[in-house]
Structure 1
Amino acid sequence: GGSGSREEQNHAEKQQQTEQEPEHDVPRSTESSENNATINEEESRQKALDQANDAKVKGNKLFGDGKYEEVLSQYELALQVAPDMPSSVEIRSICHSNSGGCFLKLGKYDNTIKECTEALELNPVCVKALVRRGEAHEKLEILKRPLLLSDSYRIPSSFIPIQRLEPLAAEKREKMKEEMIAKLKEMGNSVLGRFGMSVDNFKSVKDPNTGSFSVSFRC
């Protein structure tokens, strides 16, 4: 009888221990897996960012050597591997802008406009992209003029008179110039703002003889 009672008591104690054991083994394992997955994802993104930066650096060097086709391959690689995240915005913007610079050198002005527009969408104050896009627009205008001139003699009624093209071209150039000045002013204000100033504190005066500008500070 005593033996049976002791066995029952041992069984009861074991059952009580089992009931008191915490049941968080599985959640802990799951939480650990999630943490590892997050760390692996961050490491993967950083690795991709490093690869993109390496490709960009190679592209920059090749750009200096004038190897524009090879440059484009490096920038394309950088854009492919760069993760779509805030920390990669600068790299992607530079690659698009510099790709536009390559296409400008190769005379592919439509491609220049496309790449520089993408660069400006990522970084609206990318001055190089703005300048390159403006140059490409100007080059395209120059290329189109002989075509319009020659075709206008064959089919006069289907073309805008040549004398009307100049005001339109001038208006377009003026619009691009205003856009560029606005971007430069925005950049200037971001720097001068640290010193409690803005570009409005400066006055520019054009010399009618030389066409150059002189800048003076005004309170």
Structure 2
Amino acid sequence: MCLCNRAMCYLQIDEYEEAVHESSKAIELNPAYIKAFLRRAQAHEKVDKLEDALADMKKVLELDPANKEAAKAVRRLEPVVAERREKMKEEMLGKLKELGNSVLGRFGMSVDNFKSVKDPETGSYSISYQP
């Protein structure tokens, strides 16, 4: 309890990394300590580690399915985290496309010349060249 209380103090004075550290120690000692997960999730959210905050809130719901604070936080965080993942995926694909075009450009080709089709049964992709 002392560690979790220290985490709350750190949250109050905007020392979020310390709050994460103290909450994590409390969780190590008691992996079912809901309040420590809640505090750590709050700290993660303050430092913009939304995926970690979401994971902690989901753990709270796993331990206490009736926890309204965690349920509300999960509903709020899930779409934001999903949007961030999608944005990161698009950025990564854009960078890969640029890299591919820089290599293929030497041969007069582009990644746009290639078409990929996903096989719904196996999940594998078939890639074909279209000049």
The TM-score by the shorter chain falls in which range? Answer: 0.5 to 0.7
* Contact 1:116-1:132 at 8 Å conserved across structures: yes
* Contact 1:72-1:99 at 8 Å conserved across structures: yes
Question: Higher RCO, 1 or 2 (CA under 8 Å, sep at least 6)?
Answer: 2
* Contact 1:55-1:75 at 8 Å conserved across structures: yes
Higher Rg: 1
TM-score, normalised via structure 2 length: 0.60
Determine if the alignment matches structure 1 residue 126 to structure 2 residue 74.
Answer: no
The root-mean-square deviation of aligned C-alpha atoms, in Å, is 2.8
**Partner residue of 2:5 out of 54, 57, 65:** 57
Q: Partner of 2:129 in structure 1?
A: none
Listed as ranges, the matches of 1:1-219 within 5 Å are 53-82=1-30, 89=32, 92-147=33-88, 151=93
Q: Deviations over 1:104-146 (max 9, x none)?
A: 2222222112211111111112222222222321222332454
Q: Deviations over 1:3-45 (max 9, x none)?
A: xxxxxxxxxxxxxxxxxxxxxxxxxxxxxxxxxxxxxxxxxxx
Aligned residues: 99
TM-score, normalised via structure 1 length: 0.38
Q: Percent identity?
A: 12
* Contact 2:16-2:43 at 8 Å conserved across structures: yes
Point out where structure 1 has 5 or more consecutive residues left out of the alignment. Answer: 1-52, 159-219
Name the structure with the higher helix share: 1
Paired AA for residue 121 in structure 1: E
